[in-house]
Amino acid sequence: MSENKLHGDAVENPRLTWDGCSVLLDINDGDRLVFSRLSAGAKLKIGNKNCSLQPLIGCPFGSFFRVENGAQGPYLSRYTPSNEGNSIQEQGDCQSKDELRDNRALVDNNKAQSLTGDAINEMRRQGASGDEIVEALIANSATFEKKTLFSQEKYRLKKQKKYAPIVLLRRPFTRSICEAYLKKYPVRIGFLRMDTLCLLLSMANVSANSDVLVVDMVGGLLTGAVAERLGGTGYVCNTYPGGSPYPMDIARIFNFGEEICKRIVRSPLADLFSVQTEKSKVSSHNGDSCSMEIESNEQISSTAGTEEVSLASENMMSDLIPETTYSVERKSSKSAKLGEKAPHEIFSLWKENGFTSLIIAAPELDTWSLVKKILPLLSNSAPFAIYHQYLQPLATCMNNLQVGKMAVGLQISEPWLREYQVLPSRTHPCMQMNGFGGYILSGTKICTNN
Amino acid sequence: MLPVESAKKKLSFTRCIQDGDLVIVYERYDNMKAVKVCEGSVLENRFGVFKHSDWIGKQFGSKVFSSKGGFVYLLAPTPELWTLVLSHRTQILYIADISFVIMFLEIVPGCVVLESGTGSGSLTTSLARAVAPEGHVYTFDFHEQRAASAREDFEKTGISNTVTVGVRDIQGEGFPDEFSGRADSVFLDLPQPWLAIPSVEKMLKQDGIVCSFSPCIEQVQRASETLRSKFTDIRTFEILLRTYEVREGKMDSFQVEESGSVGSLPCKRRQRLSEGSNEQETTSASVVMARPCSEAKGHTGYLTFARLKCLS
């Protein structure tokens, strides 16, 4: 087996952050998720403190950071969590003793904590670390000792999150981007759940060197997910009926290098059908991409405004901050351009060969009339997958495809996903779950001329 | 199967079936078969005898006829179709689990992925698609014959440049040392996954992800406890797929009589319908309806994911 080249992933799959890199910051174990672009000027507000993101540049993804108090104010400092894991799991043996304790003596009168807010502030002024404050709170809690081990742990964790927040540095991948958006801005991604999204990619056979046609009305998440799978080969063509392209902002959150960005192109649906002369396309090319640039920036700022407002549930804040919110200089160079108009030589190739896959996530377009029009652009035997939140448009479309003998292997499916809490003697499905992941119509196009 | 293996094999309007191609013969959604096209060969099924020579030169996606006039469709193989037609040497993973594993393991082109066991190679085929063209899948099974059959299959599906099959007891011996610190992701489908976890820790790059697939919760419990010391983000999921059947049918619409009497007896209604047959036509409309299929998988396995802590 050793003869095989173990290809590095240096270019498109780096393990260290860099200046200008897009990152996902996971604050307090998933409580808050923030997308950010690292730069010397970028800042992140944690609790009531504004911290520079500079210390994160050049660190490995997966690093942990804590807020420390320095001479120039609070700053993020990298730390290595203990290898012990959190105490509770290792204390399985103590459980029998633990079972004797319960909450019968607990009175909810708000008098259990003797450390006052002023006292805590005073500790802070004297430079106490977050952990020290947490220890002090525990020492001053009249009820802590009476709690069960599990609720002691819960208490500690709650205080730690408040007084000693932890920032985890993550690579933005389709999975984390989808999960974060679904949690906070589900509407922007058409309620597309991560398991539904990955089914779309599989069912449409997205693989290196494919030419994938997408109708993406889910903010660019679908386009980005396809581009990630293509890894700088093939093309993902984001098409749209009418004159203005759909926004692709989410595709910019991925850390796509130039190679991958070049493979993300867009084209009005009409152009994919027309046999226009190449010249007119070339001449319109430049002006067009300019206006696209402006458009998308407007999109960013306008959505940023509305998104800030909609932050609701107490500590489940995931500010999906579009990259422009922070440093301004970044704009100039860092994020490579994506979503250029498809070059005309590729147009003719697509016309000649057809696309190898089709994915549609267009809740606002009539599924059947869109599919009827778009399916001839696909190669024969090419698979397709269509997402919708409602069953009826897909059922109608499936029936029509069947009657018209346009496709085989037609199936409507709905994924069901359940997460579990797995702890010693405490394993059960999570209390909260997303109950609906939408529907997918999948199938394979067949030759219609024989 | 993968266009990366040869650009000429990529699906297109001009790509025709050739001698030696692997095709999926589609009879019905629940009846498919993988066939290697061979000039002088025939396929026999309940629809008659199909000559392979008739297939050559046709496009993928074509309808082809037998001597008796029966027909099938010839499709280009994909990992999804392959999962439906491969020969089961073991229990296999299906599309819902497969696609979730690939996304959650963050597998992208160029990744190095380790897998054990190989089993029937259902997941392996999708892993190969995800890492191609530059990446590689190293898959291990302790069953020599099974490994050999898997190798043959990967040859047949044209992914053997992307997949290497090794014979090894991963639970007992761990993954080979040559992969230390080189794996982006590791997938385990073993009866006692916790035994392999210390080796997985060595194989993974920092921040790399492991997935363990187990049908029983006790396995999950034990694996999760072992993962806790060196891994973070330990999460367990179950994923199922519900499928729907779609039918177009005519429905008679029920007419309440003018008088508003609720007691519209069946005989009365029938009378009315037969009398005014014109009206009946306008009130019975064709509708497309969907409902979940009654047969469904209740459980496949639990998927436990964990990320290696970043300690340096």
Q: Is domain A174-445 annotated with CATH 3.40.50.150?
A: yes
- Residues B16 and B56 placed together within one structural domain of the fold: yes
Give tens-digit pLDDT for A242-266: 889 999 999 999 989 889 999 999 9
pLDDT bracket for residue A123 (50, 70, 90): confident
Number of domains composing chain B: 2
Provide CB contacts within 8 A for B276, sequence distance 6+.
Answer: none
Give pLDDT, residue A307: 32
Contact, A210 vs A356, CB < 8 A?
yes
Q: Do A381 and B76 touch (CB under 8 A)?
A: yes
Residue by residue, DSSP assigns A122-143 as HHHHTT--HHHHHHHHHHTBSS
Give pLDDT, residue A157: 82
Closest CA of chain B from A86, distance in Å: 9
Contact, B75 vs A381, CB < 8 A?
yes
Q: Which residues of A touch B230 (CB under 8 A)?
A: 83
Q: Do A445 and B237 touch (CB under 8 A)?
A: no
Q: Which domain holds residue B135?
A: 83-234
Q: Which residues of A touch B95 (CB under 8 A)?
A: 199, 202-203
Give tens-digit pLDDT for A45-73: 887 788 899 999 999 998 999 888 777 77
Residue A320 has pLDDT above 60, yes or no: no
Binding region of B for S-adenosyl-L-methionine: 120-123, 141, 169, 189
3-class state of residue B108 by DSSP: coil
Q: How many residue contacts between A and B have a Cβ separation below 8 Å?
A: 267
Q: Evaluate the omega torsion of the peptide bond into residue B40 and state whether it is cis, within 30 degrees of 0.
A: no
Closest CA of chain A from B165, distance in Å: 8
Residue B251 lies in a domain: no
Q: Do A412 and B304 touch (CB under 8 A)?
A: no
- Residues B100 and B127 placed together within one structural domain of the fold: yes
Give tens-digit pLDDT for B68-120: 999 999 999 999 999 999 999 999 999 999 999 999 999 999 999 999 999 99
The rounded mean pLDDT for chain B is 89
Closest CA of chain B from A97, distance in Å: 21
Give pLDDT, residue A315: 34
| Cα A92 to Cα A99: distance, rounded to the nearest angstrom | 12
Q: Do A380 and B61 touch (CB under 8 A)?
A: yes
Closest CA of chain A from B278, distance in Å: 27
CATH classification at residue B104: 3.40.50.150
Burial B33-72 (b: 16+ CB within 10 A, else e): ebbebeeeeebeeebbebbbeebbebbbbbbbebeeeeeb
- Residues B42 and B115 placed together within one structural domain of the fold: no
Closest CA of chain A from B262, distance in Å: 32
Give tens-digit pLDDT for B280-312: 445 678 899 999 999 889 999 999 999 998 876
Give pLDDT, residue B35: 95
Residue B302 lies in a domain: no
pLDDT bracket for residue A88 (50, 70, 90): very low
Q: Do B12 and A354 touch (CB under 8 A)?
A: yes
Q: Which residues of A touch B244 (CB under 8 A)?
A: 391, 395, 411-414, 439
Q: Do B62 and A447 touch (CB under 8 A)?
A: yes
Q: Which of A37, A31, A24, A23 is nearest to A311 (CA)?
A: A31
Residue B17 lies in a domain: yes
Give pLDDT, residue A98: 55
| Cα A212 to Cα B98: distance, rounded to the nearest angstrom | 21
CATH classification at residue B42: 3.10.330.20
| Cα B162 to Cα B137: distance, rounded to the nearest angstrom | 6
Share above pLDDT 90 across residues of chain B, in percent, rounded to a whole number: 78
Give pLDDT, residue A286: 40
Residue B198 lies in a domain: yes
The rounded mean pLDDT for chain A is 79
- Residues B113 and B51 placed together within one structural domain of the fold: no
Give tens-digit pLDDT for A354-388: 999 999 999 999 999 999 999 999 999 999 999 99
Residue by residue, DSSP assigns A238-282 as EEESSSSPPP-GGGGTS---HHHHHTEEEEEHHHHH----HHHHH
- Which residue in B has a C-alpha nearest to residue A207's C-alpha? B129
Binding region of B: 120-123, 141, 169, 189
Residue B190 lies in a domain: yes
- Residues B207 and B158 placed together within one structural domain of the fold: yes
| Cα A356 to Cα A378: distance, rounded to the nearest angstrom | 6
Residue B242 lies in a domain: no
| Cα B86 to Cα B80: distance, rounded to the nearest angstrom | 10
The CA–CA distances, whole Å, from B291 to A105, A436, B242, B299 equal: 52, 16, 10, 20
Q: Which residues of A touch B241 (CB under 8 A)?
A: 199, 413-416
Residue A92 has pLDDT above 70, yes or no: no
Give pLDDT, residue B31: 93
Give pLDDT, residue A287: 38
Give tens-digit pLDDT for A206-251: 999 999 999 999 999 999 999 999 999 999 999 999 889 999 999 9
Structural domain boundaries of chain A?
98-162, 174-445
Contact, A33 vs A315, CB < 8 A?
no
- Domain end residue (candidates: B203, B234, B265): B234
Give tens-digit pLDDT for B211-228: 999 999 999 999 999 999
Q: Which residues of B touch A413 (CB under 8 A)?
A: 241-244
| Cα A12 to Cα A262: distance, rounded to the nearest angstrom | 13
| Cα A415 to Cα A413: distance, rounded to the nearest angstrom | 7
| Cα B189 to Cα A202: distance, rounded to the nearest angstrom | 20
Of A202, A427, A439, the CB nearest to B217: A427
- Domain end residue (candidates: B234, B250, B283): B234
Neighbouring C-alpha atoms within 13 Å toward the C-beta of A245: 30
Residue B221 lies in a domain: yes
Report which of residues A104 and B62 the model is more confident about. Answer: B62
- Domain end residue (candidates: B234, B269, B297): B234
Question: What is the three-state SS of B45-104?
Answer: ECCEEEEHHHHCCCECCEEEECCCCCEEEEECCCHHHHHHHCCCCCCCCCHHHHHHHHHH
Q: Which residues of B touch A368 (CB under 8 A)?
A: none
